Amino acid sequence: MSNETYLLKQYGQAVQFLPPRLRSYAMNMSDEIKKRAREFRLREGTLLTVLTDECEVPVNSDAKVRHEELATIVDIATGGSVHSSSEQIKSGYLTVRGGHRIGLCGSGVYKNGEVSFIKNISSVAIRIAKEFIGVSDGIYEQLTVNKGFESTIIISPPGCGKTTMLRDLIRNLSNGKYAYRVSVADERNEIAGKHRGVPQFDLGQHTDVMEGMSKSYATMVMLRAMTPEILAVDEITVKEDIAAIESAANCGVALLATAHGAGVNSLFDRMLYKQLQNLGIFKRAVVLGIKNGNYTAKVEAL
């Protein structure tokens, strides 16, 4: 399948989670917009838009989003069984078939002092899943010198393919000549994109995934149960994530992680990541960016 055909196919899959009236407008967009589309954005009372790398594009001047259509999206995504998906919904997202991800905004419902559900949905973002097999091939060999993988952190500004690169590196490490056992702590189900327990993305044949729980808890479970050689996590954001990473490193496990940042210096200037730097766990960084409209990836020693 050509890259163009694949992008149009993924767009067509994601469109199916729109209500019928809005779906027809979205399907009438040009192929050029469809190929560049990253998300559908729906906000009650405003026009349905398609988010590209450059901007949000209204799909049609008549495509104003109605309140009941936002609820319809949740019904479509859950197959009419909203209750069975309440755990995901209360976290503000749904992962659906094909690995597409539906973000939700609305009113929180509290039970025993904790959010138990989100009701009165007012905004929805449908992220179009895209898997680019081989995107990490150019850096994989640089990260596996002399049969050894050294702990690596992927640093990327938003929208530069951080999770896509992480996902493909996991696949390469798992399927490559060294066939590493990789355990993935997929807290928000963004890496594997599991739908009804089945990963929607290829993470390799020697990869095990724990999703829907905190990185710290998933890490401890997998260290005991799966004897990984590499532990992969997405988006280090809180001190508990660093504690989990330190525990894994102390068990002799290599780490593959991601963080938002413009580069090595800007990342480690921030207090949380300064602590991570001081631990000396990560030996290499993969810095992602965009130059002249093209995505870039550079390996740096730490």
Rounded CA-CA distance 142/144 in Å is 6
Q: What is the distance in angstroms between the CA of the first residue and the CA of the last residue of the chain?
A: 39
**pLDDT for residue 293 is more than 80:** no
**Three-class secondary structure assignment of 154-168:** EEECCCCCHHHHHHH
Rounded CA-CA distance 227/205 in Å is 15
Average pLDDT over residues 7-32: 96
Strand pairing of 93-95 and 56-58?
unpaired
- Residue 77, CB-side half-sphere exposure with 13 Å CA sphere: 30
Listed ranges 24-28, 105-109, 270-274; the one with the highest mean pLDDT: 24-28
Average pLDDT over residues 244-248: 91
List, in order of start, the domains of the chain with CATH numbers.
Answer: 3-127 (3.30.450), 137-301 (3.40.50.300)
pTM of the entire predicted model? 0.86
Provide φ and ψ at 158, rounded to 5°: -55, 140
pLDDT, tens only, 200-244: 999 999 999 999 888 889 999 999 999 999 999 998 888 899 998
**pLDDT for residue 146 is more than 80:** no
pLDDT, tens only, 72-124: 999 999 988 888 788 888 889 999 999 999 999 999 988 888 888 898 999 99
pLDDT, tens only, 170-206: 999 999 888 999 999 998 888 999 888 888 999 999 9
Q: What percent of the chain has pLDDT over 70?
A: 100
Rounded CA-CA distance 192/86 in Å is 20
Average pLDDT over residues 275-285: 93
What average pLDDT does the structure give for the chain?
92
**pLDDT for residue 299 is more than 80:** yes
According to DSSP, residue 64 is labeled B
**pLDDT for residue 68 is more than 90:** yes
